[in-house]
């Protein structure tokens, strides 16, 4: 969330920055057409979660951090403002900024959809009383952006290779985005929203205060937020090739990250601007 002296809601940010900034990216890939039939677009025929939209205070600094961690060969938007893309094997992190955001946050997450018809989807969402969103990004009950793009996804035609900004190889070799965790202010309301798109969830926790949607090889996890806590995209998990947690943890600390957990099962950290991630070996 952009916590300035005059804070914007997440929905305001999506309206003012996220959707407008993403317009060239999404419109370059979305092939909208008038729906020819009444075939339902829901639940989604999805190949999984693909990428994360991310807001950071300093795109150059974030680019260096994630180039060192995941892939030194970045891509960027051909035209200003600067926006870096860090590939994760399958999928990517999109690193942009908005105003004077003091901390980083995840702006939206994206699912790839087979036989996706944006016009038919918008009509069906409207008929079911759901927001159609803009540029394929639909706000959930907490205002978190849930983006839909047609298979095969990938970077848009407005994106070009960037010059290397870090030397050497990456610390880990990413395979794909594994999971996205939402902290929601009203779990039942959020579940009703995501069931329309993803089918039935699996419940867990001693009081069923957690739920998961399995989406091909990826997963969407929902957790009930505490009283007074804001709903948000809280953290993500990334599958990577096997790595040495001690070596990677040591390097992350020198790069300004805070390592919160490490074991043979993986490593959890918070980056210098507050983005929380988990690295899990395949």
Question: pLDDT tens across 66-108, in order?
Answer: 999 999 999 999 999 999 999 999 999 999 998 888 999 999 9
pLDDT score of 12: 47
Q: What gap in Å lies between CA 109 and CA 49, rounded to an integer?
A: 7
Residue that the structure tokens 């937020």 belong to: 225
Q: Which of 161, 187, 203 is the last residue of a domain?
A: 161
What value does the mean pLDDT of the chain take? Answer: 89
Give pLDDT, residue 32. 41
Residues 204 and 73 in one domain: no
According to the model, what pLDDT value does residue 208 have?
A: 76
Domain range holding 87?
10-33+42-161
- Of 175, 160, 1, 11, the C-alpha closest to 83 is 160
What is the mean predicted confidence (pLDDT) over 180-191?
A: 97
Q: If we measure between CA atoms, which residue out of 4, 8, 102, 112 comes closest to residue 55?
A: 102
- pTM for the model: 0.87
| 167 in any annotated domain | no
Boundary residue ending a domain (113, 131, 161): 161
Q: Show which of 130, 161, 192 is a domain's final residue.
A: 161
How much of the chain exceeds pLDDT 90, in percent? 78
* 42 CB neighbour count, 10 Å cutoff: 15
At 14, is the pLDDT very low, low, confident or very high (cuts 50, 70, 90)? very low
Please report which confidence band the pLDDT of residue 262 belongs to, taking 50, 70 and 90 as the band edges: very high
Contacts of 258 (CB under 8 A, 6+ apart): 269, 270
pLDDT surpasses 60 at 29: no
pLDDT higher at 176 or 30: 176
Residues 23 and 149 in one domain: yes
Same domain for 72 and 119, yes or no, is yes
Report for 38-52, 118-132, 141-155, 200-214: range of highest mean pLDDT = 141-155
Query: What average pLDDT score do residues 278-282 get?
Result: 97
189 and 135 within one domain? no
pLDDT over 80 at 25, yes or no: no
- Do 161 and 78 form a contact (C-beta atoms < 8 A)? no
The predicted pLDDT at position 11 comes to 45
Q: What's the CATH code of the domain at 134? A: 3.10.180.10
Q: In what order do the strands lie in the sheet with 174-184?
A: 202-204, 210-215, 218-224, 174-184, 232-240, 276-281, 266-270, 258-263
Q: Say if CB 223 and CB 234 are below 8 A apart.
A: yes
**Number of separate domains in the chain:** 2
Query: Is residue 3 in some structural domain?
Result: no
Whether residue 15 sits in one domain with residue 153: yes
């Amino acid at each position: 969330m952009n916590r300035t002296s005059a804070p914007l809601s997440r929905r305001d940010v999506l309206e003012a920055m996220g959707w407008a900034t993403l317009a060239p990216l999404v419109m370059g890939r979305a092939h909208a057409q008038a729906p020819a039939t009444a075939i339902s677009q829901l639940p989604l025929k999805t190949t999984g979660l693909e990428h994360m939209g991310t807001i950071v205070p300093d795109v150059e600094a974030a680019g260096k951090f994630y180039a060192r961690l995941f892939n030194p060969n970045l891509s960027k938007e051909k035209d200003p403002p600067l926006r870096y893309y860090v590939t994760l094997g399958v999928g990517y992190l999109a690193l942009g900024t908005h105003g004077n955001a003091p901390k980083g946050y995840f702006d939206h997450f994206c699912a790839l959809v087979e036989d996706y018809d944006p016009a038919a989807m918008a009509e069906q969402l409207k008929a079911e009383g759901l927001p159609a969103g803009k540029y394929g990004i639909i706000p959930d009950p907490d205002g978190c952006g849930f983006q839909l793009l047609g298979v095969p996804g990938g970077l848009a035609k407005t994106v070009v290779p960037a010059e290397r900004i870090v030397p050497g190889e990456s610390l880990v070799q990413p395979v794909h985005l594994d999971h996205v965790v939402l902290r929601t202010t009203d779990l039942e309301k959020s579940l009703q929203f995501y069931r329309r798109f993803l089918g039935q969830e699996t419940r867990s926790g001693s009081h069923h205060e957690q739920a998961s949607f399995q989406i091909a090889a990826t997963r969407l996890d929902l957790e009930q937020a505490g009283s007074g806590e804001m709903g948000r995209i809280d953290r993500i998990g990334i599958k990577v090739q096997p790595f040495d947690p001690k070596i990677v943890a040591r390097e992350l600390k020198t790069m300004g990250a805070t390592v919160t957990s490490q074991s043979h099962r993986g490593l959890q950290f918070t980056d210098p601007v507050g983005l929380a991630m988990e690295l899990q070996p395949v």
